[in-house]
Structure 1
Amino acid sequence: MTVALISDVHANKPALGAVMDDLPDVNGYVHAGDAVGYNPYPQDCVDALRELGAVNVQGNHDRAVAGDASFGFHSTAGRAVEWTERHVNGETLDWLGALPQERETVFGDTRVKIVHGAPGAPDRYTYPRDFAPSLLRDEDVLVMGHTHVQGKEEYDKGVVVNPGGVGQPRDGDPRAAYALLDEETGEVELHRVEYPVEEVQDEIRRAGLPESLAERLEEGR
């Protein structure tokens, strides 16, 4: 069976919907943090992830919206955090605040560890160029997010993968990113899918969020 690996949904409902529509039949969902932030559908996206029963970890935007301001956001991201706080309900704030920063689970024969930034360092940006076998411990697959840059590396010890940003890709490809894990073999495939970027841009502007958040979506940055 197959498991869907996603990360950094960032309140982008159309992008998440496109990924869900593109998936084959899957046996589970992993989300490596940042359900909210930047985009204008935070409540919808949290509701969707909870309904899917996804194995979630907490991203820095999730933590900030829940009330922890320890991560140093630039002004644009900070404005989106403040906007998001006003547009989700109390139950969602509690849920975001209670998410763990790391999780381990097993799918079939495959041991999976999920973090946002890096093991033991949830806010560290770990780009594909930084992947190394030393990131792996006992797990077969390490799933990371935070950079919004899709990539994977296979080692004798296992696989390190960032499925990429669903809601705000930053690798020059504006399509929503995700990955698929074969739970029997531990193999990981990377995928991209188009979604209606203009629809999200229009809603960003209607919501009064910063214009730069709309512009970057069409550029994948």
Structure 2
Amino acid sequence: MRALVISDIHGNFHALEAVLAAAPAHDAVWNLGDVVGYGARPNEVVELLRGISTLDVRGNHDRVCTGLTSSQGFNPVAAEAAAWTHGTLTDSNLEWLKAMPKGPVAVGETIVCAHGSPLHEDHYILSMRDAWAPLQRMESSIAFFGHTHVQGNFSLLENDWEEERPQYAEREAAAQQRLELRAGTKHLINPGSVGQPRDMDWRAAFAIYDDMDSSVTFHRVPYDVEAAQAAIRAAKLPERLAARLQTGR
């Protein structure tokens, strides 16, 4: 079985289209949340996902943009985008987003999918310090998560702790890097953000999980950033949301 693992699309339809066009053949699509918020084409993103995703986990922006929770903890730019998104979503898409389950969601006996962490949907895992408790406490051998918009892997094998981030030679063309999943190891794996990367790489990020050869392959793919920026500006959303797409931060 091969799964396309995506996260943090954030209403960026142009990036999602590029990911789906570049993704190798797969049997399932696992969506780790934050489908909307920030980007200017939330309805198109949701409608596309509704036809292809086989597993969905809600993100914090999905909750706020649908009114399940307030935007009190958001910065002003995020709160403005959330309010705009709520007013833009169709009733059908709003209800679909509201119905996405809270993570973690199990895939068989060895894998879970979460937004922030397998321990709490809003926790950020950015460093080994953040990963320590989830790796110690999670019962699955693999947890896929998003939320940070940073592609990478944290692992634990007995007393061997490792943090790995893909290193790509250049930042313009499509690129990939394979990670072998060693037997007996626990992994926390972030596929990166489709629609708003924050690891200084502007390209859309995703991952392919392959249980036949026990591997995850991280991918980056270019997309039409200028078109995504133009859509944000046309919607009169904050300029910050358009500008940051060019730098991946």
TM-score normalized by the length of structure 2? 0.83
The match for 1:131 is 131
Aligned ranges 1:71-150 → 2 under 5 Å: 72-102=73-103, 103-106=105-108, 111-129=110-128, 130-132=130-132, 134=135, 137-150=138-151
The one-letter code matched in structure 2 to 1:218 is Q
Measure how far apart 1:124 and its partner are.
1.1
For 2:60, the equivalent position in structure 1 comes to 60
How far, CA to CA, are the matches of 1:19 and 1:135 in structure 2?
A: 33
Aligned amino acid, residue 191 of structure 1: H
Contact 2:58 2:100 in 1 (8 A): yes
Distance in structure 1 (CA, Å) of the matches to 2:27 and 2:140: 19
Aligned 8 A contact 2:135 2:188 in 1: no
Matches within 5 A, 1:195-214: 195-214=223-242
Structure 1: gaps of 5 or more residues? none
Q: Which residue of 1 aligns with 2:178?
A: none
SS in 2 for 1:4: strand
Residue type of the partner of 2:91?
G
Give how far 1:131 is off. Answer: 2.9
Secondary structure of 2:110's aligned partner: strand
1:134-213 alignment, distance < 5 Å = 134=135, 137-155=138-156, 156-213=184-241
Report the CA distance shift for 1:218/1:113 in structure 2 as closer, same or farther (over 3 A). Answer: same
* Aligned equivalents of 1:195, 1:205: Cα separation in 2: 18
Aligned to 1:131, the other structure's residue is in SS state: helix
CA contact (8 A) 1:128 1:149 kept: no
Aligned residues: 218
Take 1:136 and 1:166, find their aligned partners in 2: how far apart are those partners? Answer: 28
Is the contact made by 2:202 and 2:247 (CA closer than 8 Å) also made in structure 1?
yes
Q: Distance in 2 between matches of 1:164 and 1:187?
A: 16
- Is the 1:30–1:54 Cα contact (8 Å) retained in structure 2? yes
Q: 3-state DSSP class of the match of 1:189?
A: strand
Q: CA deviation at 1:112?
A: 1.8
CA distance in 2, matches of 1:136, 1:199: 43
**What is the match of residue 11 of structure 2?**
11
Distance 1:53 1:171 in 2: 25
Deviations, residues 175-212 of structure 1 (Å, cap 9, x unaligned): 00011101234321111000010011111100100000
Q: Report which of the two structures shows the higher radius of gyration computed on alpha carbons.
A: 2
Q: 2:10 is matched by which residue type in structure 1?
A: H
- The Cα of 1:142 is off from its aligned counterpart by 0.4
Change (3 A) 1:198 1:180: same
The one-letter code matched in structure 1 to 2:106 is E
Deviations 1:147-202 (A, max 9, x none): 00111134333321010010000000000001110123432111100001001111
Supply the distance in 2 between the matched residues of 1:135 and 1:91 (Cα, whole angstroms): 40
More deviation, 171-180/47-56: 47-56
Report the more deviating stretch, 182-191 or 31-40. Answer: 182-191
Provide the residue aligned with 2:38 in structure 1. 38
Unmatched tracts of structure 2, length 5 or more: 157-183
Identity, % of aligned pairs? 40
**What corresponds to 1:23 in structure 2?**
23
